[in-house]
Amino acid sequence: MNDLYKNLIDNNKKWVESKLKLDPEFFNKLAQGQSPPILWIGCADSRVPANEIIGAEPGEVFVHRNIANMVVHTDMNMLSVLDYAVNVLKVKHVIVCGHYGCGGVKAAMGQQSVGLIDNWIRHIKDVYRLHKKELDSISNEKQRFDTFVELNVKEQVFDLAKTSIIQNAWKNNQELQVHGWVYGVGSGIIKDLGVNVGNDSQLDDVYQLNF
Ligand code: CO
């Protein structure tokens, strides 16, 4: 067995020891259940580990990750995570966290086929088409890429707000805010995009549901 694989289990043993040294009850407490106040929707990219970059401990953040932190309305995986987080765990905040240098967003800017994933990336291309005028006007490619990453996060925040799950929670006066962030893989710094949605008033009429 190669060292890289074996090291994972050894590292786990060391991690358990370090946690128990700080708090002998650490795992006993976690075994009682979870009530995280935050749902994180992030990119699957290995450089953006949700808990680590916000200093969260196990039990503090419910996490869903996919390529380019997308909110696709027919994605049963995302919808199930969202439903459980909102209706069972009663999270107070949903954070969509994208990141600069995102491979999925980069692929969506180009026309090269990359296989089956083209069909996932097409959802990101839809964001480009929505903001084509603004994006096409940015001549610097890196700047255009960074702006596209930010616009994609903002669209996913509004796509979350359009779900029946979040609108139903708001109709029931459940305290629930949706936020958009972008993480800098080269700096470690999170940029808050300032999109904070706590009701359906920012959505086009056609998306506002009556229950
Ligand atoms: Co990414």
Q: Domain residue spans in the chain? A: 1-33, 35-207
Q: In what order do the strands lie in the sheet with 38-43?
A: 61-66, 38-43, 93-99, 177-183, 190-197
122 is catalytic: no
65 is catalytic: no
Mean pLDDT, residues 82-102 taken together: 98
State the pLDDT at residue 156. Answer: 98
Mean pLDDT, residues 168-181 taken together: 98
Mean pLDDT, residues 18-26 taken together: 98
State the pLDDT at residue 1. Answer: 64
- Asked if residue 180 has pLDDT above 70, the reply is yes
123 is catalytic: no
pTM of the model: 0.96
Mean pLDDT, residues 182-194 taken together: 98
Instruction: Report whether 72 contacts 81 (CB < 8 A).
Output: no
Catalytic position from the list 3, 65, 83, 102:
102
Distance, C-alpha 46 to centroid of its chain: 13
- Asked if residue 185 has pLDDT above 80, the reply is yes
Instruction: Report whether 91 contacts 61 (CB < 8 A).
Output: no
97 is catalytic: no
Question: What does each C-alpha distance from 48 to 111, 118, 190 come to in angstroms?
Answer: 26, 22, 11
State the pLDDT at residue 2. Answer: 78
Catalytic position from the list 45, 97, 123, 159:
45
**pLDDT over 90, % of the chain:** 97
Range 35-207 has CATH code 3.40.1050.10: yes
In tens, the pLDDT along 27-38 reads 999 999 999 999
How far apart are the CA of 66 and the centre of ligand 1, in A?
8
Catalytic position from the list 64, 97, 99, 179:
99
102 is catalytic: yes
